[in-house]
Structure 1
């Protein structure tokens, strides 16, 4: 069951969203630093919007762990967005907590990643301020 999840993310693109129902339950609960999305239709809209706005988006999966119906996957997302640092490719490290239903589909997913590293640090006004603050906190 975790292999289906991994394969989906390794091949994620706008056309693969048609396969979302083979990976997720109808009532899936998906949480990440951007927000919470409940239900397959809401998740499809969220992914569709993300992929539409990115020039590239690719996941490399690293470690997987599954105990009964509960698992974790670590990953790196390489993405580019035309409004972030002139469309250059950025890499973001993250981890997904996933829970599977009895029919071996994902019914819950929570993604953990640094939203600042993904977005805020690359914005013209906020970026330098956040980087300065991080340096100050590390002294």
Structure 2
């Protein structure tokens, strides 16, 4: 199993316990960026996932597809979780850049919080859908 396969397997089975293995997959100075976070270092990245586990029910990643070479990979995924009894599925993609030892030095997540999260929430959903329709060209 190559390092990308091992990483994606780790993500698909991520739990509070397996999160302790993060140093096997990320360099000490790795950067993680998504629509809500921009942090550097394993401890800061681990804190993001700990926050995920403490604020969602049954979070899990389902890996859809991957493209890779020796320097980087691009992975698409679905993130499933529960929030206050409501099941959500957010679709996104990650750009992963590798250090010489195969661990991640940059992890950049791309996903649309308006479509994938806010639109699905009871209080925000209506206004977000209205705004999307208002600015849509069709």
**TM-score, with structure 2 as normaliser:** 0.91
Whether 1:99 and 2:97 are equivalent positions in the alignment is yes
The alignment covers a number of residue pairs equal to 135
Alpha-carbon distance in 2 for matches of 1:79, 1:114: 16
Higher mean displacement: 48-57 or 122-131: 122-131
Q: Which residue number in structure 1 is paired with residue 28 of structure 2? A: 26
| CA RMSD between the two structures | 1.3
Question: Structure 1: 5+ residue runs without aligned partners?
Answer: none
Q: Which runs of structure 2 are paired with 1:1-139 in the superposition (5 Å)?
A: 1-82=3-84, 87-138=85-136, 139=138
Question: Contact 1:96–1:109 (CA<8 Å) still a contact in 2?
Answer: yes
Shift of 1:118: 3.7
1:30-81 per-residue CA deviation (whole Å, 9 max, x = no partner) reads 0000120110010111110111111111111111111221110011111111
Shift of 1:125: 3.3
User: Following superposition, which runs of at least 4 residues in structure 1 exceed 3 angstroms of deviation?
Assistant: 122-125
**TM-score, with structure 1 as normaliser:** 0.90
Shift of 1:13: 1.3
Question: Structure 2: 5+ residue runs without aligned partners?
Answer: none
Q: Secondary structure at the match of 1:98?
A: strand
